[in-house]
Structure 1
Amino acid sequence: MDNGTMLQGFSWYLPADGAHWRRLAKSAQRLADEGVTAVWLPPAYKGQAGGFDVGYGVYDTYDLGEFDQKGTVATKYGTKDEYLACIRALQAAGVQALGDVVLNQRMGADATEDVVAREVAANDRNRVVAGPHKIRAWTRFCFPGRRGRYSAFTWDWRCFHGVDWDDATRRGGIYLFDGKSRDNEVDHDDNGNYDYLMGCDVDLSYPPVYDELVRWGKWYLDTTGLDGFRFDALKHMGREFYQRWLPEMRDYAGRELFSVGEYWTPRVDELVSYINDMPTMSLFDVPLHYHFYSASCSNGDFDLSKLFDRTLSTWNPVRAVTFVENHDTQPGQALQSLVLPWFKPSAYACILLREAGYPCVFYGDLYGMPNDGNIPAVVELPLLMEIRRRFAYGRQRDWLDDADTIGWTREGERGREGSGVAVVLTDRAGGAKRMLVGEGHAGELWHCVIGEEKDVRIGSDGWAEFDCGGGRLSVYLSDAAAGVLEHDWVNAIHTPDADPYTDDDPVRAETEEAVREHPELEGEVRRLAREGLDGEGVAG
């Protein structure tokens, strides 16, 4: 079975140009060639901020960029037709399309209602700080721009547990509507009961709401043909909702609908508990992300031998989706925990070149993040993805026995020419690991394809010593694999000029024309283009 790799196909600070669906569609085949097997698409429906909404301020789930609402027809990412074309392009390239489903909150209501509510403490949602009194809440959603198309359902205060704003007093707070109670099967470690997150908190147990969300889910599947879902904010939602809703969607679709949920906690026991209650859903390995973050910020004081301890990929590798970064961990976001650049190649090696978990690569790390001075792409990432796709197979052996230097090997598989890999990483001084790659590799010469270490000759017993510089990553491949990899890398499966932010760059167009006319000079053409010369000048 081939190695799969998911891509989170967006970052928070993408330009609000309505062109992202077109960018992804254009990139579909290239992503497939790089080993991407699924793309997690951003929330596709209209948010309260219209064309500037990232998608988590949900207004109308039936508006996929089709109706003039919130000041725009298109969403931040484009129109409905472009969204559907993007899904079709990905699937035509053999890549699954996963839809981001956000059902916990609604924002941008069309009208207010007077509702009796109790105010609760922000840091303890079980403690009432003001008894029942009337507030004016933005809770009525009638979607005048859509005019009942696809669904005539209107939302009112009965569809929600509460809100965070009283428009009568112009005062913020957390208000629980009279007669409503919080869901119990949610996170209780933070704020007493963390059912409430933001906006109008959807009452998922209210029968009319549940029935409407089932109708919407079936419509969404029929309309888009998605292959699966990413679910937002699970720790704030009663578990019984997806225990019912997801099987209904799978039965209706007649296919698996791979699903991964975001349950944001550093506690692996919480993730294991959720998976035990939801055995057909995967979860993101948040504890592993925090280990990467801590290691990157520790100035070498993190114990690398414990890097994978108490992580979901260790406890349940089949249900773990591993990641280094996502949109919420970017600078300026509530969960900001950006892994420092020096450690990112090592972190990506940990999720891409090991057997446990389904790795999810972040769009911002693949292409760079257009925020905070344009955080650069992880240069080694496309190469790591190629190594995963082609060579990271077979039995894994670990040497996770030192606080500052760890390593592992993959033995490779018969029928996969050149497969097998050796990895060493450090967080302080340089080091080395004597590791077994298997007797089938006896006598082979292995090259350091990431890092600057000397070649290694595998002993007759299948063992060798692999070096790594201080605070670095070293990845070794066999001579046969490295030779093929070097050829592919020179020919640039993934190159800076493929950056989707610069698709309309005239220099890029001229460079591509020069490469087509003079393929024998491709490496030199691209090098000079990166240094600022245009393709025509190079070709001439």
Structure 2
Amino acid sequence: MTHHDGHPFSTGKTTTTATGKYVANPGGGVMMQAFYWDVPSGGNWWDTLNTKVTEWANAGIGSIWLPPVSKAQNGAFSMGYDPTDYFDFGNYNQNGSIETRFGSRSELVSLISKVHAENMQVFADIVINHNSGGQLENNPFTGTQTWTDFTNVASGKFPRTSADFHKNAYANNDEGFFGGFPDLSHAAPNVQDWLWKRADGVGKYYKNTMKFDGWRFDYVKGFGPWVVKDWNANVGGFSVGELWDSNVNTLEWWANSANSSVFDFACYYKMNDAFDGNNLNLLNDDMMWKRNPYKAVTFVSNHDTDEIWNKNLAYAYILTHEGYPTIFYRDYEEWLDKAKLNNLIWIHNQKATGTTSILYTDNDEYIARRNGYNGNPGLVVYINNSSNWEEKWIPTNWSNAKIKDFTGNSNWYPTTQGDKWVKIQCPPKSYSVWSINM
């Protein structure tokens, strides 16, 4: 199978493109999810990340995704997904604390400055489906009292009442609600104005004052894709939606409708079944990156889901294939071999270019070729989930060329034939990545 969507030639933190047809991966090619569920509380997380940014940049990480940065209902104990005041970054005494779980506004500003000094981008996690932490008020739309009075938020910005939540004068409901929280009504003009239209609203303030470069939209199943499309048209910046759905048609529909990237849950679930279920043939199946690599953000685990146990093979897959790969903080900093991940990041940034051709699959083995682009030679990746060393003859991009395994897992240095065929090998429960020296 050959996939015909191109991928830019990206080197480290910068991306070079030759023609208008190719759109650079924002951030230079690899994203770090810079948090996990229930990171240590106490207001030190922004400072912790600040100490890691330079190392990540040197490893070839191009962008960092932060947890929700504003004050939420549970104050210093909240992970930020129950937002109260979008303009309280840990600088107002509200909801029981001044700082957020992650730190103060000044520490956040320092972190963002550090990320930009290292020529990386920083993405904000935006929770706009629901709010929490309002006061009780009489609600004329429900005839009851509801926790929908946000007129006294400490920042004084984006005041909300029952008129801004479902049900209201505009609609009884939208696509979905979350956990019983008051459900923001994006049809309400006040909500649109404060989220993405006003110059001092959430989107433009985060972008222009806080200097965020893009957005990870939480729980986009809860509202129509037009919301993200409007946000992107008015605010700009990179965006990716969390549409938790394994159906690639649904992912592609949302990404096109929202004019946004989307997390490739189709790829995630196929990898889970393939690597953990010992059937690498499943990697032939459809995924978002095969539909449109420029709108597919691939991942192996995140703060919500961590089902793949064969993570080394999964990272070898996403870091050699098309799409915008994400590395999970705990995988990088705690659970996996950092040197091996750094090697795969280097391979991604230096060699993983061009279209993709799957060369061979069976239950235990998967071999694919990146066909190269704009003078970059591409690569061949060999994933072996069996308990034995394996060897295969495969067609490459190179004739009469000496190649090597850039992971160091094999010490072969074969020379391709005039017809570009060569025999490569892969160790058990591992991977090898073959290319020429540039």
What is the Cα deviation at residue 347 of structure 1? 0.9
Q: Secondary structure at the match of 1:106?
A: coil
Letter aligned with residue 317 of structure 2: C
TM-score calculated relative to the size of structure 2:
0.85
The question of whether the paired residues in 1 share the 8 Å contact of 2:84 and 2:153 is answered with: no
- The equivalent residue for 2:379 is 421
The question of whether the paired residues in 1 share the 8 Å contact of 2:30 and 2:326 is answered with: yes
Q: Secondary structure at the match of 2:382?
A: strand
- The equivalent residue for 2:234 is 248
The question of whether the paired residues in 2 share the 8 Å contact of 1:112 and 1:138 is answered with: yes
What is the Cα deviation at residue 200 of structure 1? 1.0
1:357 is aligned, of 319, 323, 328, to: 323
What is the Cα deviation at residue 448 of structure 1? 6.5
- The equivalent residue for 2:147 is 138
Letter aligned with residue 27 of structure 1: K
- For residues 66 and 424 of structure 2, what CA distance do their matches in structure 1 show? 39
- The equivalent residue for 1:465 is 423
What are the within-5 Å matches in structure 2 for residues 404-443 of structure 1? 404-410=364-370, 420-430=378-388, 431-440=390-399, 442-443=400-401
- The equivalent residue for 1:76 is 101
Is 2:134 the partner of 1:113? no
Work out the percentage of aligned pairs sharing the same amino acid: 29
- For residues 399 and 78 of structure 1, what CA distance do their matches in structure 2 show? 49
- The equivalent residue for 1:484 is none
1:475 is aligned, of 428, 433, 438, to: 433
Is 2:244 the partner of 1:264? yes
1:182 is aligned, of 152, 173, 181, to: 173
Point out the more displaced range, 421-430 or 226-235.
421-430
- The equivalent residue for 1:224 is 210
What is the Cα deviation at residue 460 of structure 1? 2.6
2:300 is aligned, of 295, 308, 324, to: 324
Q: Which has the higher contact order (CA 8 A, sep 6+)?
A: 2
Tell me the matched-pair count: 407
- The equivalent residue for 2:10 is 2
The question of whether the paired residues in 2 share the 8 Å contact of 1:364 and 1:377 is answered with: no
- For residues 105 and 74 of structure 1, what CA distance do their matches in structure 2 show? 22
Deviations 1:130-173 (A, max 9, x none): xx7x5432221234544x2xx2x432222111xxxxxxxxxxxx
- The equivalent residue for 1:159 is 164
Distance 1:449 1:277, change over 3 A: closer
- For residues 318 and 106 of structure 2, what CA distance do their matches in structure 1 show? 35
The question of whether the paired residues in 1 share the 8 Å contact of 2:246 and 2:269 is answered with: yes
Structure 2 alignment gaps of length 5 or more: 1-8, 12-28
What is the Cα deviation at residue 377 of structure 1? 5.6
Point out the more displaced range, 18-27 or 54-63.
18-27
- The equivalent residue for 2:223 is 237
Q: Secondary structure at the match of 2:54?
A: helix
Letter aligned with residue 414 of structure 2: R
Distance 1:305 1:144, change over 3 A: closer
- For residues 447 and 248 of structure 1, what CA distance do their matches in structure 2 show? 46
What is the Cα deviation at residue 311 of structure 1? 0.8
What is the Cα deviation at residue 420 of structure 1? 4.6
Letter aligned with residue 435 of structure 1: I
- The equivalent residue for 1:391 is 351
- For residues 48 and 310 of structure 1, what CA distance do their matches in structure 2 show? 40
- For residues 267 and 450 of structure 1, what CA distance do their matches in structure 2 show? 36
What is the Cα deviation at residue 439 of structure 1? 3.0
- The equivalent residue for 1:314 is 290
Letter aligned with residue 142 of structure 1: T
Distance 1:391 1:58, change over 3 A: same
Distance 1:225 1:144, change over 3 A: closer
- For residues 284 and 41 of structure 2, what CA distance do their matches in structure 1 show? 38
- The equivalent residue for 1:37 is 62
- The equivalent residue for 2:274 is 295
Letter aligned with residue 268 of structure 1: V
Q: Secondary structure at the match of 1:380?
A: helix
TM-score calculated relative to the size of structure 1:
0.70
- For residues 407 and 376 of structure 1, what CA distance do their matches in structure 2 show? 23
Larger radius of gyration: 1
